[in-house]
């Protein structure tokens, strides 16, 4: 599932250049030309990463960054600040406002791609195309195939996304509501028990290889992926 990037940029030419280039790179692109439009876009669909221009017409991008970091719904979204301001203090101010990375204009599109990939790999590894392996279990995001040794393990798209997320966040426990937000998106309204249904389907898909134990229930908390069998 490709990552959704929200580009917040008030210069139409730059906005179009970034949009076209990142679309060609396989990302889903949403755009805004000021802070108000950005908040509307975020309310509609939570992006996986934000590119934020410092100079916006209705308020400085650095103020918007602080607002995003202060809100529980948006504080974990990876954020790259784009700006012509390149002094050391400007960079410090941007990072202290909550930016994960900082690119000074003009920058190369190649460098932007590298920064995006690096940040997603660090903050949202389930959105990358990196091959994932845990013991004998292998998940390939590009071919959307799961295998154990030489045995292919077919599964539905929801189960694949669920396994991808859990494998890239191994050992961490996630509640049903957290899994709904992370795997299906917080704009999709589903019953929390829907997660239980897909967990059962995922375990069934892993069972021919005897790997169903990898998906563990943590009583009163949620689910986790672990290669260590729970007692």
CA separation for the pair 5, 164 (Å, rounded): 20
Mean pLDDT value across residues 99-121: 90
Residue 75 has a pLDDT of 87
- How confident is the model over 26-42, as pLDDT tens digits? 999 999 999 999 999 99
On the question of pLDDT at 13 being above 90, the answer is yes
Return the domain boundaries, the chain: 4-127, 132-225
Residue 227 DSSP code: S
Beta carbons of 161 and 139 less than 8 angstroms apart: no
- How confident is the model over 42-82, as pLDDT tens digits? 998 889 899 999 999 999 999 999 999 999 889 889 999 99
Number of residues that make up the chain:
231
Record: fold of 4-127: Rossmann fold (3.40.50)
- How confident is the model over 168-201, as pLDDT tens digits? 889 999 999 889 888 887 666 778 889 999 999 9
The sign of the CA dihedral 139, 141, 145, 149 is: negative
Strand, helix or coil for residue 17: helix
Residue 142 has a pLDDT of 87
Q: What CATH class is the domain 132-225?
A: mainly alpha
CA separation for the pair 167, 183 (Å, rounded): 12
On the question of pLDDT at 231 being above 60, the answer is no
What is the model's pTM?
0.69
128: confidence class by pLDDT, cuts 50, 70, 90: confident
CA separation for the pair 58, 214 (Å, rounded): 49
Q: Which residues of 184-204 are buried (b: 16+ CB within 10 A; e: fewer)?
A: beeeeeeeeeebeebbeebbe
Lowest mean pLDDT among 75-79, 98-102, 146-150, 181-185: 181-185
Mean pLDDT value across residues 109-119: 91
On the question of pLDDT at 125 being above 90, the answer is no
224: confidence class by pLDDT, cuts 50, 70, 90: very high
């Amino acid at each position: 599932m490709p990552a959704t990037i929200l580009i917040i940029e008030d210069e139409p030419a730059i906005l179009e250049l970034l949009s076209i280039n990142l679309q060609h790179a396989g990302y889903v692109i949403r755009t805004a030309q000021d802070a108000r439009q950005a908040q509307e876009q975020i309310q509609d669909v939570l992006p996986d990463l934000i590119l934020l221009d410092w100079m916006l017409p209705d308020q400085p991008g650095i103020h918007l960054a602080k607002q995003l970091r202060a809100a529980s719904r948006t504080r974990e979204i990876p954020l790259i600040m784009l700006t012509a301001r390149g002094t050391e203090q400007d960079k410090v101010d941007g990072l202290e406002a909550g930016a994960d990375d900082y690119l000074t204009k003009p920058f190369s599109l190649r460098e932007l791609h590298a920064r995006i990939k690096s940040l997603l790999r660090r903050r949202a590894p389930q959105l990358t195309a990196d091959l994932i392996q845990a013991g004998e279990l292998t998940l390939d995001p590009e071919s959307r195939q799961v295998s154990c040794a030489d045995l292919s393990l077919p599964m539905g798209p929801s189960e694949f996304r669920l396994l991808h997320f859990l494998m890239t966040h191994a050992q961490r426990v996630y509640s049903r509501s957290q899994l709904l937000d992370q795997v299906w998106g917080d704009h999709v309204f589903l019953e929390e028990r829907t997660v239980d249904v897909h967990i059962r389907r995922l375990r069934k898909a892993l069972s021919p290889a005897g790997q169903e134990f990898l998906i563990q229930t943590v009583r009163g908390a949620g689910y986790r992926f672990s290669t260590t069998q729970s007692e």
